[in-house]
Amino acid sequence: MLKMNEVRDMDENAIRAKINELRLSTHDLRMTKVTTTLKETHKLTENKKDIARLLTVLSEKNRK
């Protein structure tokens, strides 16, 4: 789980790369959940929250 102060220290390119990484991870977790049993279901929720944090900071940086 990412912390807001860690995210705010990242530059825009790093934030975008992390968003893409988390989206791919979320997709893989969803496919695993559908096809087999997913033991770490909490990872889906964590990924969604991390993506939201990253998008929030990215929009803050774009506003400035």
Question: In this predicted model, what pLDDT tens digit does every residue of 7-55 receive, in sequence order?
Answer: 999 999 999 999 999 999 999 999 999 999 999 999 999 999 999 999 9
- Band (pLDDT 50/70/90 cuts) for residue 1 is confident
pLDDT at 57: 95
| Residue pair 60/10 in contact by the 8 Å Cβ criterion | no
pTM (2 decimals)?
0.90
- Return the closest-CA partner of residue 29 out of 18, 17, 16, 41: 41
- Residue whose entry in the numeric block shows the structure tokens 């990872």: 43
CATH number, domain containing residue 8: 1.10.287
State the total domains in the chain: 1
- Return the closest-CA partner of residue 47 out of 31, 33, 29: 29
pLDDT at 64: 74
Alpha helices in the chain (DSSP H): 4-8, 12-35, 42-63
pLDDT at 40: 92
Domain residue limits at 32:
4-63
